[in-house]
Amino acid sequence: MVVPENNMKPGKFIVIDGTDGSGKGTQTELLVTALKEKGVQVVVTDFPQYGTPSAYFVEKYLRGEYGTAEEVGAKRASLFYALDRFDVAKQMRTWLAEGTYIVSNRYVSASMGHQTGKIEGNEERDKFLDWLDDLEYNICGIPRPNETIFLYVPPEVGQKLVDQKESRAYTQGKKRDIHEADIDHLKKASEAYKYVAKKFNWKTITCAPDGEMLSREEIHTMIMKTVEPLIN
């Protein structure tokens, strides 16, 4: 691990995650812009790293080439995502040691939500989360976030918002990947996300109270209230 020189304070690591259609990418961009305006040195990570070799298995999985999400299972799918994050973990540790902030669009939290949704019963969920924590942070050695901000949108609202997205290369012409296309998966993931967010004390922001999306500016303001103590 890189040791900061001249007593330099290490950077902070902030994750923006959420249910599908919650505007994670948009809020990541707004947060990065706000941090830069405050003079913070910041870099962005975005997982999965679509279009790179490390995301090869993730992309095939999301296109359904290995079967349905349920057929692949929680642990097998988690391996695909964990190795994608491992690919950039050394660089992330270097940035943090140098005092640079990292804002990440999705992270281990995404596997915790989507994959835990495949598992029934809190006891079995907790066993899986312990396994995933060990895989990602101990075996793969990726850095832990200082703060995870969870954007919640009901699955029915989120699926409609996903359909408004432009075409993405990894889906190869399909409007939705296998997670987005399966409303049952989205409902289970949504409930799992809420369980995990409470378990790990993430900051939860409800983005669509009463089924109506808040403006991006309103959501950004709530995110900044969470992030400002880290900066100060």
pLDDT tens for 157-169 read: 756 655 555 554 6
- Count how many domains the chain has: 1
**pLDDT of 1 higher than 50:** no
- What HEC string does 128-148 produce? HHHHHHHHHHHHCCCCCCCEE
pLDDT recorded at residue 211: 82
Quick check: is 155 in a domain? yes
Q: What is the pLDDT of residues 141-152, one digit of tens each?
A: 999 999 999 999
Quick check: is 74 in a domain? yes
218 contacts 25 by C-beta, under 8 angstroms = no
Structural domain that includes position 188:
13-231
Q: Average pLDDT, stretch 29-58?
A: 97
73 pLDDT tier (thresholds 50, 70, 90): very high
Quick check: is 8 in a domain? no
Residue 204 identity (one-letter amino acid)? T
Quick check: is 82 in a domain? yes
| Dihedral class, residue 16 (left if φ above 0, else alpha if ψ from -120 to 50, else beta) | beta
pLDDT recorded at residue 205: 97
146 contacts 13 by C-beta, under 8 angstroms = yes
pLDDT recorded at residue 161: 55
Of the candidates 22, 15, 28, 29, the residue with the CA atom closest to the CA atom of residue 112: 15
CATH of the domain at 67: 3.40.50.300
Q: What is the pLDDT of residues 91-135, one digit of tens each?
A: 999 999 999 999 999 999 999 999 999 999 999 999 999 999 999
Quick check: is 7 in a domain? no
